[in-house]
Each structure stands twice: as structure tokens, then as C-alpha cells.
Structure 1
């Protein structure tokens, strides 16, 4: 039996690289696949792993203390959505190290992942797993940095970093850090892909026999998330609304520009514009809620021992929450975390409860 490892190039017009490995990681066959060609047959291949270009994939290590994987994933999505200024639908996945203090998290534009899967399909392959190329380098020891020279780009993995970039940019990112060269070529990288540390094909992208998972399976996962934490489900829904609201707002502005050109003027137009402006403000409300709740969920997830008890938001109002925490140091840590993201935490009254305190909070944009 063999495993097929498909390396996609950063430029879709370049050749892909396909290696067939046995269970011990030894190369049995390899081929270069120009665009439009079909991969050679491999009757004994039981699995295909897709190695995707690392440039479009953001990889981080985040503290995601949570009671379940659903909570950890929701916290990661909220944290990354607050950091990445991209008007796209992010696909976020976690590594399988459930008990680790720091989890490896990868985020990529969902359309980019669909494009890579389409490239694999055009070569006649359907991947069972997908991994960013930089994560095929060894796990870094404290302070160590591993580097693989792929010619047109460097793959780098170190303590708190994992990325792919053209050599000049990679040198600037590394600064004074001296990397250790990872030798052995793509064959050695392919051997590490037999057990990838993280699989991008999760959630809606998870493969299943005969096709994608049926919608009922996805609904079951949503039910599990709901049972685990209604508040986290609200945050995830808010983030989806934020992304959808951007598209809706752009569409609404285009319609208004066509229907109410500036040349019309007059009192009637002004009155109509006021009404339309109100509708646009309503469109922006999900974005305001998503930004505030995403920042708050990320801050709470990064502070072990704290969790949200209640969450309240009314149109045009600030975000209000009830927080469980142990002492004043938790509040200061949350305040510093949120201030770094442009939010001000206003503290209300506290009530003693078993094991800690319940404190009312208001979140508003920093002045």
C-alpha cells in the first residue's frame, strides 16, 4: 500500500510534484505534473495528502482553553477574525493536540482552499487530507528555527512562527535568528506528510466516502456546538453575519447610487436619503456586534479561568456582558488585551459567587 503526496506550486501555472511513498516513508515513484495532465495510476494507493502553498495560510499558536473542541474552534475563529482585515470567509482549523496549552491554528480564505482542491481534481486526484507546506518542517524546540530552501521560496518553522515566503522577505522576517537547514529535499518533506500535524480538510471541507458529508452531519455538529455553549454559537453566527453584511452593504450602496443620483437633490430626495441611510445603518449593525463580540470572546478565551455568563446587545447600543472570573487581575488582563484591539472595557459592579466573581462589563470602542 502507498500514500500519494501532491505538492502544489504557489503559481497555478507551474508544475505540481507527486510522490508515492510506502508506509515507511520511502519514495516508490515520483512525477512532475504540468497543468492539464493526469496523475499516473497507482492501484495500491490508499490515501492522498495535498500539500498547499503556505503563503496564503496564516499559522499561529494560540492559547485556547475551552471545555470542548467546538468552543476552542469558535474562540479561534473569533480571535482571528478580529486580527485579519480580509473581506473573505475564513476557514479555520485546529491541530489534534487537544490537551496542549497552545494549539496550532491555521486560517485560509475558503475560496483559496477550493481552488487548490480544484487543481488537484484537474490532475485526477481527490485529497483525503491537506496540510500547509511550512508545517511539514520539524516541531521547533525553544528558540530553534528550521528552514527549507524550495528555490523560489523558503519554508520556515520556528518557535511561534510557521510561514512560506520568497527568500528576501523571509530574511527580513527572521531578522537575527539563525535557522537550521532542513536537508533531504521534497522527499523528506513528503515523508513527514504521512502524518500531518494539522489537516485543513475539516468542517465543510471534510472528505467522506463518495463525496462530501451530508448536510445532516453538519447539522449534527451544529447541535453539539449549541449544547456545548450557546454564547459561543452566537459569536460564530455574528462573525458569519459580519462577512455577509459587507457584501450586502456594498450592494445596497450601489443600488442607492443608481436610484438616488446626487443630481436629483431637493427636499424629496433628502427625505428619501434619510430613510435609506437608516436602512444602511441597520445593515451595519451585525458588523458592529460581530466586531465587539469577536474581540470579547477572543480575550476571554485567552484568559484561563474566565468565561461569559450572559451577553446582551441592542441595536445602537454597546455590548454588555456578565463575566465569571477569579479576581481583579483577570479584569486587568482582559482590559489590556482588548485595548490592544481598539476596545475599552468599562467595569460595572461585582457579586461574589462560588469560586470567584460575577462582574458586569460594557465594551465600547476606545476613544
Structure 2
């Protein structure tokens, strides 16, 4: 087995990427950091990239037997209630089986993020063979009552039995629930976990592939069809039920569009009234209301040195708006990244210079 390069993708673009080269026996041959657009290109070798786990959703699902594309479609169909996006915007990846009758590891990530990470790695001069979320670099603990925790950047990666998530440090106890959190703070232990993940990654987010992305453009209906192909087999009644559900879904979709145009007649002129309503909803109070938006905004502001909240207002029609004072134009991007972790999006509506500081008006809505 040849050496493997493992790279940690940073949360913010433009930052250096720590890396290490792992030998066949798991030993570390080299450590360092790669800088975007450096003059010297890294040596070609198999590369495993560890991406920020906060941007990846991980589940364990009971899936029937089937081909790779059918399994991904079945998983996407099972997760349809949890995802507020159409399938062409996300990659759904199913991990290898862990045993007969065991649930399968499923990861979902935005195609846009996958492309952004690939572009970043390209700026480092490397091409990834594997992309794995940071929380899945930890081995599953033997004790079901234990959750392992490792810090990656500003977030904490948690790994338990059939459980993996990356969250802000102040949410660790809440997310872990009754399970005992065991922090892994010894750098050597963390390095060994990363080396093991480099040699045998739990999942590869690149496995979705362009072919599956093209197939997913047909929408949830296509995913439902492929899932049915896996689930049906000899039961014709199941197929009839699936067809009935598809017809009902189309009827409900038509009724929803009609309801939108009745409630907001001006949207009837839009090519896609539902999409127009989603854009309008983004300006309304985000999930959790004003309190959740304010809490997320305060946390985001605290993460940016020198940023201050000047004003916070909320109205039934205008949603949540705020005025921030901060030292650099890039601060809003950093705040937006933190707000995205809470499922919210920041839109900058106005900016001006005031005595050497930047004053920005923003609106807070649901993350699209």
C-alpha cells in the first residue's frame, strides 16, 4: 500500500490546509500545511480530504438490497421529509454494509459545497480521491452510552453508536443527550484516528458522481421511482400504492401552487410561484422565530473580533433585520458562515464606511 496524503479542509476559504502523509502501517511520514496557489505543487499521491462535518448530514437507515444508484435513490426518498431542497442540489451517498440486516450509513451534502471544496483543493494543487466529513474520521465507540468528541477548527465533531454530527461547542451537551461525552485531546490519539480514516474511510462523498447528479434532475419523483424498483419485487400492490402516492403528490403540488396564487396573487405571474414564495419566506422570521435568530446572531458576532450589534428589529412583514458595525468587509461573510450552521442566511442590504469602521444593514432569513 502506497503512502496516502490526508488534508483537513479549513472552514474559511483561503486559509492553509493542514496535511499529513500516512504510511502503509499507519505511521506518519510527514506533516505540514498546504497554501492556496503556492508556487511549489505537492507530490501526486492518493489523497483523502476531510471536510467540515457541520455541512454534512449523516444518518443510519434500513435500506433494502439493490444497486448503488437504487440505494442512493431509496435513501434520498427516505430523507425527503428532512431535506428542504430538491435532489439536484444535494449528493446522497450510501456507505458500505456493516453486516447482514444492519442499517446503512447515509451522508447528504450540497453539490455546491462539494464543488467549492474541490475548487479549494485544486488551488492547493491536489485532486481528492476521497472526501469524508470530519466526524466520520472517528471510530464508532464500543459503548453505546459514550460519545467521542474531537475539536476541528471552531466546531466539535461527535461520534457515537450510529451517531455522527459536528456542532458548535456550546451545543455538545445538548446534542449528546444522556450519553457521556469523552473528549479526545491527546494529539497523538487524534492523529491515529485520522491515519486510520485515511487508510479506510467510512464513506466517500465523491461516490455520488456526475451520473447520479444527472439522474437526480428529474426530482423526487425519479428518486421515488428508483426506490420503488428496490422495494417492490413480487408485490404488485406496493407498486400500485407508489403510483397512487405519486398522483397524490402531483395533485397536492398543483393545489399548493393554486393556494399560493390565491394568498399572494402577485406571485401568479412568476414562472415558479413556489420558488417565489420561498424567496419571500427567506425574508420572514427564520425557523425558531426572532428569539432563535437573535441568539444565533449574537453567537456569530462574538466569533468576529471587533464586530458589534448596533440595532436589531423584527416585524411581521419585514422579518428580522439588524445593523452591525465591524472592522472589515469580509466580516459579514464570516458571520454568514456561522449563521448557516444554525440554518439561517444573512443578506447584506446596505453598507457604508463610518470613521474607519464598516456599518452593514442585514436581513436574516431561512437558509435556502
Q: Shorter-normalised TM-score: what interval?
A: 0.5 to 0.7
Question: CA 1:195 to 1:277, structure 2 compared with 1: closer, same or farther past 3 Å?
Answer: closer
Partner of 2:146: 144
Partner of 1:204: 209
Kept in 2, the 8 Å contact 1:70–1:225? The answer is no
Q: For 1:38 and 1:94, how far apart are their aligned partners in 2?
A: 38
Question: CA 1:150 to 1:31, structure 2 compared with 1: closer, same or farther past 3 Å?
Answer: same
Q: Any stretches of 5+ residues in structure 1 without a counterpart?
A: 207-212, 216-221, 263-272, 285-367
1:168 aligns with 2:142: no
Question: CA 1:279 to 1:25, structure 2 compared with 1: closer, same or farther past 3 Å?
Answer: closer
Partner of 1:91: 91
Q: For 1:79 and 1:164, how far apart are their aligned partners in 2?
A: 22
1:49 aligns with 2:48: yes
Please report how far the alpha carbon of residue 133 of structure 1 lies from its aligned counterpart in structure 2 after TM superposition. Answer: 0.9
Kept in 2, the 8 Å contact 1:33–1:39? The answer is no
Q: For 2:193 and 2:272, how far apart are their aligned partners in 1?
A: 53
Q: For 1:199 and 1:85, how far apart are their aligned partners in 2?
A: 23
Q: Which residues in structure 2 correspond to 1:222-301 (within 5 Å)?
A: none
Partner of 1:188: 192
Kept in 2, the 8 Å contact 1:93–1:200? The answer is yes
Please report how far the alpha carbon of residue 67 of structure 1 lies from its aligned counterpart in structure 2 after TM superposition. Answer: 4.2
SS in 1 for 2:97: coil
Kept in 2, the 8 Å contact 1:38–1:122? The answer is no
Partner of 1:289: none
Q: Any stretches of 5+ residues in structure 2 without a counterpart?
A: 215-222, 233-238, 278-368
Kept in 1, the 8 Å contact 2:145–2:180? The answer is no
1:155 aligns with 2:154: no
Partner of 2:106: 105
Give the structure-2-normalised TM-score: 0.55
Give the structure-1-normalised TM-score: 0.55
Please report how far the alpha carbon of residue 226 of structure 1 lies from its aligned counterpart in structure 2 after TM superposition. Answer: 9.9
Kept in 2, the 8 Å contact 1:91–1:108? The answer is yes
Give runs of ≥4 in structure 1 deviating > 3 Å: 38-41, 66-71, 224-231, 276-281
Kept in 2, the 8 Å contact 1:64–1:75? The answer is yes
Q: For 2:228 and 2:178, how far apart are their aligned partners in 1?
A: 47
Please report how far the alpha carbon of residue 105 of structure 1 lies from its aligned counterpart in structure 2 after TM superposition. Answer: 0.6
Q: For 1:57 and 1:105, how far apart are their aligned partners in 2?
A: 10
Q: For 1:79 and 1:228, how far apart are their aligned partners in 2?
A: 13
Q: Which residues in structure 2 correspond to 1:297-316 (within 5 Å)?
A: none
Q: For 1:59 and 1:72, how far apart are their aligned partners in 2?
A: 15
